Structure formats: C-alpha cells, structure tokens
Structure 1
Amino acid sequence: MKHTSLATAITLALTATSAFAEPAQSDEKSIEKIVVVSSRVAMPLREVATSVSLVTQADIEARGYANLAEVLKTQPAISMTSSGGAGSSTSLRVRGEEGYRTLVRIDGVDISDPTGTQVEPKLGHMQASNISRVEILRGSQGLAYGADAGGVINVHSAEYTEQLAGRVSAEAGRYDSTNLVGDIGGRTDKFSYYIAGSSFQTDGFDARTDDASGDLDGYENNTIHTRLGYQVSEQLSLKLVARNTQGEGEFDHCGFGATASDDCQSEFAQTNLRTSVNYVTGSSEHEFSYAKTLIERENFNQNVSSYLAKGATEKVEYLAHSELNDTHTLVYGADWEKEAITSAQQYRHNRGAFVEYQSELVSNLFVTAGLRYDDNDDFGEHTTYRVSSAYIWAIDSNELKLRGAYGTGFRAPSLFEVNYNRRPEALPSAANTPLKEEQTQGYEIGIEFLTETDSRFEVVYFDQEIEDSITYTFDSVTYADGYIQDIGQSESKGVELIAEIKLGKGWSVDANYTYNEAEDTAGNQRRRRPRNIANLGANYQLDKLTFTANIRVIKDAVDAGVPLENYEILDISAKYQVNPQLSVYARVENLFDAHYQDISDYNTSGESPYLGLRYQF
C-alpha cells in the first residue's frame, strides 16, 4: 500500500485548502485523495476499504454555518439533534448510533468531556471557523483510536505556507447574531505557527415549547486555537497544539419545587493541550505525544450555582508505521489514558495497544487486518479487531472499487453511569446489578465508481449491533432511577447512496441518501433516529460569484414513542470575490421558514438570513 509520511500528508492536505489562496483544480484533486482518519496514517483514499467522507474548507465556507455540527449533518448517514439553539446539548449520530460513540479530534486533540453522563464531545460548543479539512470515518471501525470509537471525526485547522498570512471576517444575522473570526500564520524553513480566534454571540430564540414566557435563550462562544511546529532536523520535528473554548448560554426549566425557574444559565470551559515529537527514518515514522484536557461546567438558577462538574483527561500515545517493503506495511501503537471527574474524585485508567497489517496482496487488491488489546481498571481486558479489503478494476479511464470491512469493539460504562447507580435513592435493579461493558460488532459492504472527470458514485450496506447496551430508566411510582443493562442486541442497519457529480461549466451536484433501521432490543425504533435522511446540494461558480444550495429531508423519526413530523429544510448561500483580498458573502438558513422538531419538547430556528465580509492578506 502506498503511504505518505504523516507530517507530510497533513501538510499537503492543509495546504490544499489554505484560506489564503484557491488551489489549482489538479492539485486539489490529487491532495484530497490522501486521508489519515481510517488507520491514523496517510493513505490514498482509493485504497481505503472503510467508509470515509471528506469536508474541505471550501465546503465549510460555502455553507457558512457557524457550528461544525451543522456542517457535518449534510454528510452521509449523519443525523443531529439539539435541545434548543446555539450552544445547547447536541448529539451527532453516525449510522444511527449514539453521539457518545463518536470520537472527535482536532489537530490530534481528543475533545471528549469525561464529566458528562457519557464520555462524548460537546459539539454544541464546536465552531466551524478556521477549519481547513474534516475527515469522517463512518461506522464502528475505529481500531487505531480505541475500542469504543464507533466513528471518528478528524478535524484539521488551517495552515499557511507563506511567512506571514491571515484573514479576518465579520458576520451578522437573525436573532442579533454576530460572528467575528480571525487567524494568522506562517512558515519558515524550520518554524511554523498558526493562531486563530473566534467570537460568536446570539440572542437566540425560546428553546422550550412549553415555556409561556417567550424569553430568548442566548449564547456566547469565544475560542482560541494555537498550533506551533519546529523542524529540529530532517528526521525530528516538534509540535504543540493548545485550544481554549469558553461558552455561556441561557436555558429554561431548572430547579425543582419552590426553586423551579426559567432564569437558568450555563457556563462551559474546555482547555486542550497536546505536545508531540515525530521521528522519521528511511522506512518508519514514530510519534510520541502527551495530551491533557481540562473541563469545567457549571449551571446557575437565578444567578445561584446549582450544579458544578470538573474533569480532566490525560493521554500518552505512541503511534508508528513501518514499511516492510513496497507492498507491506505495519501500523502499530500504544496508549495510556486517565479519565477523571475531579469534582467528585472519580478516576479510571485504560491501557491499550494495537497493530494493523496493510498490504497490496496482488495488483489493486488492498487488505488490512488489525488487533487491539485494552486493559481497563474497572472492566478488565478486552481484545477487538478489524479486517478490511478493497479491489479496484480499471474501466477505460474510470475506476470501480468493491470494498468491505468488519470490526468489533466495546464501551466501558462511564464514570457517571457507574457512580449514579451507587446513590442510596438509585433504582434497586440498577444499584444491585453492576454494569458491564457494551460489546459492539459491525460490517459494511460498498461499491464505488469514480469517473475520469472526478465524479463519484457510492452504494454502501452497513449492519451494526450492540450487545447489552446501557440505558437510563425511571420509576414513576417510587421516583427512583438509574442505569441498567438492556439485555439483548440493539441494531442499526441500512443503505447509503452517495453521488458527487461534476457537470462542467461551473456546476456540480452532491447528494446522499441514507435508509437506516435503528431498533432497540425489543425491536422498536430507537428514538430520534430518522429512517430516511437525504441531502441534495448544488454548487455553481461563475468568475467571481459562487452559489450554493442544500436541501435536507428528514422522515420517519420518533421521540418517546411518538412520531415526529417529516420536514424539508432549504439553505442557500452566495459569495462574491470583490478582489483577491476582499469577499462578500450572504446566506439564508431555513429559507422557507419550515417549522419542525428534532426533539419533541424543543423549538428550532426559523428563517435566518446572514451577511458577512472576509478580508485576507
């Protein structure tokens, strides 16, 4: 299999989507075929046998959404729910699985929150600004990242190749929303740097359907992201990533009895730090890294603190790949992780190691076989694995690829789930039966057709099962509650249809449709999982004008056993390049002001126009 060094591949990928200049079409095509997300080493996309989606900086800017989750929900097999507007609790479900089974990394930094009910990223606070590229690994194939990675979203910040470059932008729109974004970066022979910041705020709308007051639930987000690199020698390089996110929001319905009110606020702070050393030899590359995440979340009822959680995650990783010869490669690594809810003095360690063999066994037949070992403080030793293969036929100047993958995994109960059941008022069945880990397995079969004009068509069938999933239960008579094992198998299976069509004369179309049967152990449809998801996008470019439209269709979803109404949302956007430095852009989200719900008790945004300016140097 053809590999590129990890550092080189990321540099090329980021350069391809630099905010400073539009790449040549031929360069963009060749570089975009390099992906890292499947096995954590750079691979040509045509050789990857797992399901990978790519979102470029051009895609993000064309759609214009402020929050990254809004961008990602236009991708195949992804659904999203939020309990209100900007900054609210947001779940991004890949192929119908829970949001906490998806791992999100930004420049190698895991942004998961260990203090939550489950360990998951707080995507409601993740802004879309200053991102150059997102790679999405769909399905339970995250062997190299951890046995509980049921899907992986790999985010890369922007990068400049000049000694000094940057940009600033300002946007305003409905709900008195403003978004100020800026970055600066550069590169010399040995040193590279990138510093980015964003400040978003909105008055929001009334999130709860049962709130008669009509008060607005506003939100403010300030994010700073820094990446520094130093090339010590031809073989040795150093890297530092630091990120800080501060979010403040308003919500309804907090407190109980006499203290119940709609005067509720939340504060969120996350600080991420990652340092790494990369060493390259003639046929191998080795990376050692240390990362730490600090989380603090606090809720206020009428300006009085009502809830406080602090947590931290530390992770030490070793990642390497060695080319045995032109067609055989080993990818291997080890990691040590400590999760902690420091405000409750709860801790847990996990140690893991993995190895994956990659080969082009015969011409155009690519295979991988990997094994992972984990040792968890509370739930013991586990071995998981993944196998995949892809075969490519050349048909004139086109290519046809048949691929398949199978993987297993497990998820240990979170610190919160375990300790919640230890309360004196916990449900007896939860308190008396210790939780055990969830077991997962899944496979996919896909066929892809790539034309000489770079149009792409893809059909994928997937089937994923979770054994003994953990679920929350409440007794309405005794008011006791807790987390119990849902004995049996829950399942998510379906079909993905994907098309990216280059029509010529500045036109292109991208479309995806997902049919997803997500059922619990009793065979009932799982809540908030639409059976039918479709996106149809059109893009047009003429000289200095770029136009984008996307319609999203959601059908056959239920919440708490009650069907939700089907809906269609149309978003449009346009950008005009005044000169090489200055551009003007506008968009309208939910153009026809559709009224819809993804969660039964919560409102969603109405028609929302926005206007902005961007200057780059």
Structure 2
Amino acid sequence: MFNFILQSTVINIITKKVDKNQSKIRLESGSYGTENYLFMNEGRANSWSWRISTQKDLLSDFKDGRGVTTPAALNANTNSFKLTKEFNANSDLTFIYDTYKADYKFKSLWDNRLKKGTSDNYTAKLIYNTRLGDTLTNQLILSRNRYDDQYQQESGSYYMTQVETTKISDQLTKNFKDIHIVTGGFEFTEDKVISFANKKLTNRAFYIQDQWNMTKRWKLTSGIRHDDNSGFGTHDSPSVNLGYQFGKNTNMYAGYSEYFIPPSPTNLYSAKYGNPNIKPESGHTSEMGINHRVDDTMVVSAHVFKRYSKDRIGYVAPRYTNVGDEKANGWDIQLKKQFSDAWSGYVGYTHTNVDATAQRATNVDGYIPKGAWNIGADYSKGKWDVSLVGKGIIDRPGPLTADAVSNFFPATTYWVWDIGMNYHVKKDVKVFLKVNNIFDKFYAEQSNARYNWSTTPNEQWWSAPGRNIRIGVEYSF
C-alpha cells in the first residue's frame, strides 16, 4: 500500500522516543583540513528519557576541480539537549535546546581580502502532547529562537543581523470513526529584530483540515488557513487533495493549494541586504501524481506540477526584493529496484521550467537546471555497506538577457559522483570512507558573472570543491 502526503497547515511534531541507553563517538578527518568530532548519549530511567549531543566541525582552504585554491575557514560547534518526562500513557512533556556557534572566513568574488563572520544561534522548545480520549489528541508547542549573525564588510567594519522569535501553537485532532479526521489549531509568532531598533513583526494564524475517507478507495483532504500579519494584513489559503487507490499496488492523487509568505525579518531588515519595501509573496500550486508497485522488487512514481507566484521574493544584488510574478511547471519520475538481498538501486529525473520575470531570466537566471538526474546504487551484505550516488545537471546556461556574460557557469551540463563505504569491524565499531566528487569535476552552483564586477567571468564563479576524501570511525557503547 502507498500513502500520499498533502502539503497542508498541520504542524504536528513527532519526537523520536528513546528506548535504550547508549552512547556514540564519531571521529572524522579528511581533505581541506576537515575535522569532525561527535559525542552523543541517550538513555531512559523510569519515566524520564534524554538525548545529548555535541559536535565540532573544522574546515580550511579547498581546491576546485581545476586545482585552484579558494581561501576558507570554518570552526563550528553544534550542541543539542532533549529531555522528556512521561506523566502517564496519555501525556508527555519534552524540552529541546539546540545551539550553533561558528566562526568562518571566506573570499568574496569581488575582493581578494578574506572576509570574516560569526554565527551564534539557539532554539529552545517545549512540546506537550496529551491524549484527551480514545479519539482526541492535543499538542501545545512553545518555542523561542535567536539568530545572531555578524559579517565584516569590505571596509573592515562589521554589520550584524539579530532576530529573536517567539512562537506559540496549539493543535487539536479529532478522529470521527476513521471516516473524518479533523485537525484544527492556531499559531502566534513574534519576530523582534534586535539589530533594527527592536522592530516587532507578528503573525496570527488559524487553520482547520479534514481528512475524509469517503470509501476504501477515495480520500479527500481539504483545509484552509487564515493569516493575520501585522505588516501585511490578512490572507486565506485553502487547499484540497483527492486521492484514489486503484488496488493494493497503485494509487494516484490530484491537489490544489494556495500559499501566503510574508517577508522574513532578514528579507526586510538585514543590515546589508534588507529591503523594508518588499511585498508578501502569494500564489497557488496544482499537482498530480501516481505511485505504482510493479512487483515486490520495483516501485515507480511520477508527478507533474504547475505553480504561479505573485510578487516572488528573491535576491537581486544588492538586496532582497520582489522579482515579479513567476510561472513554473515541471514533472518528475522515480524508479526504485531491489535486485537482490544485497543490491538495490534507484534512478530519477526532474524537469523544471520557470518563466522569466522582470528581474530574472528563465529558470531563475539558470540557477534551477532544466533537467536533473539522481542515480544511486546500494550494497549491503555482511560487514559492508557501500553507496554510490550520481547527480546530473542538464542545461544550466545562466541568464540569457542583455546583461548576460559568456561562461556564466563553467559547465552547463555535468555529472558529479560520490561514494561512501562502511565496514563494521564488530557490532559496536564502524569505520567509514567517503569520496566526494570522485572524478574531480570542475563546476559551480553560484556565480556573480552577470554583474560584471570583473572583466574575467571565471573570477566570478563560486566554484565547488574538487575531489575530497574523508575517513572516520564510529564507536557505540
């Protein structure tokens, strides 16, 4: 049996329960000064459970596929703490606290000096789940997070963007004899832009969704969300999805949804790239899909979509802006095959067309390729796990406009292959090897060539790392 998923307003968060006591240590080293260290501990004692982890990541200069060195540096620390108290079989309370701190350096394309930056972010969250009866559940979430980013400008001075967000949400779900599953709730979000005179932005939202199992074959899921934004007024976003199960091996669906995206605090008030005059983005998406199990070893899925966006939000140097109304359509097909107990593979292709807007050329200045392939093969037997992954980018020419330059990207069609191998020395010890960009392909996914900051386009490529190797060990106890 297959299940389709409707993109909707439901925000239910499911936290993975800890069912045993264990710890894990992972050490990793490799090309470009890469060093990663991880320690994790999780456990349970009566009605209490926890998960704690800390990770250190280091990175320095890297070389692209040409062998050209790009100055870079990263020194990052990621910490996570989760504590859950189960009051009884029907209710539990979870506290989550995550932090990320980093110092980084990079070379900008239009200035040979090394730029510096720092990030200091945290998220704190309380999640209370309760079952009020056999058919009624509720989830209450309180959260606060802070984004604090500083960056050195070409002049040597710093600018900062600091945003603190408080969010409260509650969601109630009622099951009416498995025929109607109705979910309703509200969200309140307040963003305080500390770096912009404590400017406050609020959004209140209410939503309801009904999953109607009309028959054993037909399912209709519909809903609506109402947003009331302090800066951009009110907006209603309906959605509907109709699914049909042909038999145990095939189903298909058709859906329509509308959306409303107000500008983020960073879009509006980033110290360097913000634009207070941005309008909210809205639009609608239509899609259809089918999933079919050919036999016990092979599954095929395909879907098509069409999207219209009004006042699309994006970045056009030197700041965030509305890039105009945008139309997009596309399709994809995916195939997964289990060849034997040890071997499996998959292949997928996605085709995307995005019309030009007043600010951007076709396919978002070429950043979205017209075609993208994903191919993979997996082997798992005994002590070995091996995975080979290929990514193919097809037809990415860059902007075809009056201000376009030749060689906007160093390669418009290319393939990048990665391989990873795990060897289980024993039950609790695993060594691993990763080789990324096996064939040392020279390519770039970002470019500033259209702005003519340099007369030489290839000095404007944000080239990707060339072939690099990582090796490590993981010990669980």
Q: How high is the TM-score relative to the length of structure 1?
A: 0.68
C-alpha distance 248-159 of structure 1, shift in aligned 2 (>3 A): farther
Deviations 1:305-324 (A, max 9, x none): 51122111110000121101
Equivalent position to 1:279, from 117, 123, 130: 130
Q: CA deviation at 1:410?
A: 1.3
Equivalent position to 2:306, from 451, 456, 463: 463
Q: What 5-or-longer segments of structure 1 have no aligned partner?
A: 1-44, 51-140, 146-153, 475-480
CA distance in 2 between partners of 1:157 and 1:585 (Å): 28
Alignment match, 1:588: 435
C-alpha distance 199-598 of structure 1, shift in aligned 2 (>3 A): same
Alignment match, 2:467: 607
Aligned length: 450
Deviations 1:22-59 (A, max 9, x none): xxxxxxxxxxxxxxxxxxxxxxx833243xxxxxxxxx
CA distance in 2 between partners of 1:557 and 1:581 (Å): 45
Q: How does 1:526-565 map to 2 (within 5 A)?
A: 526-527=364-365, 528-561=367-400, 564=409, 565=411
Higher relative contact order at CA 8 Å, sep ≥6: structure 1 or structure 2? 1
C-alpha distance 610-215 of structure 1, shift in aligned 2 (>3 A): closer
Contact 1:373 1:381 survives alignment (8 Å): yes
Q: CA deviation at 1:456?
A: 2.0
CA distance in 2 between partners of 1:417 and 1:602 (Å): 22
Q: CA deviation at 1:331?
A: 0.9
CA distance in 2 between partners of 1:197 and 1:275 (Å): 20
Deviations 1:80-118 (A, max 9, x none): xxxxxxxxxxxxxxxxxxxxxxxxxxxxxxxxxxxxxxx
C-alpha distance 264-412 of structure 1, shift in aligned 2 (>3 A): same
Q: What 5-or-longer segments of structure 2 have no aligned partner?
A: 448-460
Alignment match, 1:57: none
Question: What is the letter of the counterpart of residue 580 of structure 1?
Answer: K
Q: Is residue 2:284 matched to residue 1:441?
A: yes
SS in 2 for 1:525: helix
Alignment match, 2:339: 503
CA distance in 1 between partners of 2:143 and 2:47 (Å): 23
Alignment match, 1:325: 177
Contact 2:161 2:266 survives alignment (8 Å): no
Alignment match, 1:23: none
Alignment match, 2:445: 598
Contact 2:417 2:436 survives alignment (8 Å): yes
Contact 2:8 2:223 survives alignment (8 Å): no
Q: CA deviation at 1:437?
A: 2.1
CA distance in 2 between partners of 1:557 and 1:337 (Å): 38
Q: Is residue 2:19 matched to residue 1:161?
A: yes
Between 1:444-453 and 1:375-384, the stretch displaced more is: 444-453
Contact 1:346 1:415 survives alignment (8 Å): no
CA distance in 1 between partners of 2:215 and 2:95 (Å): 40
SS in 1 for 2:2: helix
Contact 1:47 1:390 survives alignment (8 Å): no
Q: How does 1:271-420 map to 2 (within 5 A)?
A: 271-280=122-131, 281-300=133-152, 305-344=157-196, 345-394=198-247, 398-418=248-268
Q: How does 1:120-139 map to 2 (within 5 A)?
A: none
CA distance in 2 between partners of 1:143 and 1:223 (Å): 30
CA distance in 1 between partners of 2:243 and 2:331 (Å): 18
Q: Which has the higher helix share?
A: 1
Question: What is the letter of the counterpart of residue 268 of structure 1?
Answer: S
Question: What is the letter of the counterpart of residue 130 of structure 2?
Answer: Y
Q: CA deviation at 1:457?
A: 1.0
Contact 1:297 1:308 survives alignment (8 Å): yes
SS in 2 for 1:598: strand
CA distance in 2 between partners of 1:471 and 1:170 (Å): 38
C-alpha distance 157-176 of structure 1, shift in aligned 2 (>3 A): farther
SS in 2 for 1:602: strand
Contact 2:2 2:291 survives alignment (8 Å): no
Equivalent position to 1:199, from 56, 67, 89: 56
Q: CA deviation at 1:239?
A: 0.6
Deviations 1:175-204 (A, max 9, x none): 121111121101244111101111111113
Contact 1:49 1:388 survives alignment (8 Å): no
Q: CA deviation at 1:160?
A: 3.8
Between 1:561-570 and 1:191-200, the stretch displaced more is: 561-570
SS in 2 for 1:143: coil
Contact 2:163 2:265 survives alignment (8 Å): no
Percent identity at matched positions? Answer: 19
Q: How high is the TM-score relative to the length of structure 2?
A: 0.87
SS in 1 for 2:195: helix
CA distance in 2 between partners of 1:454 and 1:244 (Å): 42
Contact 1:47 1:366 survives alignment (8 Å): no
Question: What is the letter of the counterpart of residue 252 of structure 2?
Answer: L
Structure having the higher Rg: 2
C-alpha distance 200-271 of structure 1, shift in aligned 2 (>3 A): same
CA distance in 2 between partners of 1:240 and 1:445 (Å): 39
Alignment match, 2:103: 248
Q: CA deviation at 1:560?
A: 4.5
C-alpha distance 551-277 of structure 1, shift in aligned 2 (>3 A): same
SS in 2 for 1:232: strand
SS in 1 for 2:9: coil
CA distance in 1 between partners of 2:155 and 2:429 (Å): 43
Q: CA deviation at 1:540?
A: 0.8
Alignment match, 1:525: 363
Alignment match, 2:452: none
C-alpha distance 504-467 of structure 1, shift in aligned 2 (>3 A): same
SS in 1 for 2:426: coil
C-alpha distance 303-242 of structure 1, shift in aligned 2 (>3 A): farther
CA distance in 2 between partners of 1:540 and 1:513 (Å): 22
Contact 1:49 1:389 survives alignment (8 Å): no
Q: How does 1:32-111 map to 2 (within 5 A)?
A: 46-50=2-6
SS in 2 for 1:526: helix
Q: CA deviation at 1:521?
A: 2.9
Contact 2:363 2:369 survives alignment (8 Å): no
Q: CA deviation at 1:159?
A: 5.5
Aligned-residue Cα RMSD (Å) equals: 2.9
CA distance in 2 between partners of 1:486 and 1:172 (Å): 42
